Amino acid sequence: MNYYDALVWSRIIGILIFFGLFITFVLWSYRPGGKRIYDAAARIPFEDAPAHGAKEI
């Protein structure tokens, strides 16, 4: 194996690793148990209490 072959294979392996991570993150985001967490995070801007000592206008 010469330098060019190592370069090609390292690129292929890198693409496969990052594609696998991308698929993992997408599937993790759409899992059924995450809906409660995402709904709670979506309601944060609409809560009455100011966050972290911010002055209420």
The domain tally of the chain equals 1
Hey, what are 30's tokens?
A: 């759409």
Domain extent, residue 37, equals 3-45
CB neighbour list of residue 53: distance below 8 Å, 6 or more residues apart: none
**Which residue has tokens 């972290």?**
52
Residue 37 domain-assigned (yes or no): yes
Residue 53 domain-assigned (yes or no): no
Residue 11 domain-assigned (yes or no): yes
Q: Averaged in consecutive runs of 10 residues, what is the pLDDT profile of the chain (57 residues)? A: 93 98 94 88 82 62
Residue 56 domain-assigned (yes or no): no
Please state the φ and ψ torsions of residue 52, each to the nearest 5 degrees: 55, 45
Residue 57 domain-assigned (yes or no): no
Residue 33 domain-assigned (yes or no): yes
Q: What is the pLDDT of residue 50?
A: 62
| Sign of the torsion formed by the C-alpha atoms of 41, 43, 45 and 50 | negative
Residue 54 domain-assigned (yes or no): no
Residue 32 domain-assigned (yes or no): yes
Q: What is the pLDDT of residue 34?
A: 86
pTM of the model: 0.61
Q: What is the pLDDT of residue 26?
A: 94
Identify whether the C-beta of residue 53 lies closer than 8 Å to the C-beta of residue 47. no
